[in-house]
Structure 1
Amino acid sequence: MALLWRTFPIVLLCQVTLGKVTASSGPSGGVLLPEDWVLLHVVQGQIGGGNYSYLRLNHDGRIVLRMESARGDADLYVSDSTLHPSFDEYELQSATCGQDSVAVPAWFRRPVGIAVYGHPSHLETEFEMRVYLDRAVTEDPFTELTYPTEEGAGDKKPGKKLEEEEEEEESVVWTILIGLLKLVLEILF
């Protein structure tokens, strides 16, 4: 009897929590969403197993993609460097058996390529993707800095380019030091 009274509050708490999560219905598909999210699009589609369906995102700002597989298993791949991302070439991905979700940063170059992949474990997959604008995100003024690429165009991925430049500088320094060492060894021997 004492065990029953100990577990009762836990069960009641779980039921109340689940009731709050599933009580919401409407445009969010039964899931509570932040108030700052604005629904931009709802995309529904079908895709064969092992195939891709490509979409293009042009909206600015932080965009959240939430995809639910109604039947089968759809995976999500996102890239700002190609309009045809795949499971070999992507920047962001979500490949779960349930709901897939990806947050596209505001600094990604537009247009952003989106690929929906139908997992080959199913002959056909039906999916629904909801596209939200996250208005709560305030932009960091330092993310607007551009870094030159080999083509001379601006690239808004600061971390990647800085690391490559540092490695290149280290490489030049090591090349010079090794050259000097060889010269000294030639003179001595």
Structure 2
Amino acid sequence: MVEMFNLLFILVCVIFAILLGKLINVDITRKPRILARTWGHIDQGNFTYIYLTFQGPVILNLSSLSGDADLYISDNNMYPTFDADTYTLHSATCGQDIIEVPEIVQVPLAVGIYGYSEMSEFILEVHENLNSSYPYKQWAIIQEEGDVQSIKPEKNTEGTNKRDTISQVPKKKKRRKTDSDFSTIFSILEVLELIFL
């Protein structure tokens, strides 16, 4: 009789816990993982180029810490600019620039970051896209090329601006060693995280 009472008590507790759980209805939303991250600064009128290799659909999130940086992406041009013929996707807003990149683009993906303000500091994060049902493990690797001084508006004889054109051969600026060291460390840690998780 005591065993029957204990069994009945456990059954009532289980039913009560299930009903209580349905009443509370806790919906835990999963935040997207950061697959890769880099940061840096860019002077006004210049581009810095980053090359992204990834698997699966991703979201690029460019946050301007100071100034304003814009995002231009191409899967067929190594140096995308704000000329419409050179980029596939772009986001040129004041503040945070977010682009959803589908899995069907060719890799490596060239990411051009344009400095709109006098000095723009930025963080570029590559997130997994939770809106897709990609069945495999997603990953991303960032390779940095550096700053390129190339975009200067030219003036015609009438004094109005022509369409912005490339006026110089791309020149790499010397980057501070600490920027590339941190990027390398983050890339190694992210690869290790992908391996062991």
TM-score, normalization by structure 2:
0.50
Is residue 138 from structure 1 mapped to residue 133 from structure 2 by the alignment?
yes
The answer to whether the 8 A contact 1:64-1:131 is kept is: yes
Instruction: Report what 2:153 is aligned to.
Output: none
2:65 to 66, 70, 75: 70
Instruction: Report what 1:92 is aligned to.
Output: 89
| Aligned-residue CA RMSD (Å) | 1.8
Q: Which has the higher helix share?
A: 1
Instruction: Report what 1:103 is aligned to.
Output: 100
CA distance in 2, matches of 1:66, 1:98: 11
Cα deviation for residue 138 of structure 1 reads: 2.6
Query: Number of residue pairs matched?
Result: 105
CA distance in 1, matches of 2:64, 2:124: 9
Instruction: Report what 2:45 is aligned to.
Output: 50
Is residue 40 from structure 1 mapped to residue 35 from structure 2 by the alignment?
yes
Note the alpha carbon deviations across 1:127-148, whole angstroms, 9 max, x for none: 1111112254135xxxxxxxxx
Higher relative contact order (CA 8 A, sep 6+): 2
2:54 to 59, 70, 75: 59
Instruction: Return the letter of the residue paired with 2:55.
Output: D
The answer to whether the 8 A contact 1:57-1:114 is kept is: yes
Instruction: Report what 1:79 is aligned to.
Output: 74
1:127 to 100, 113, 122: 122
The runs of 5 or more residues in structure 1 that have no matched partner are: 1-33, 140-189
TM-score, normalization by structure 1:
0.52
Indicate the percent of aligned positions where both proteins have the same amino acid.
37
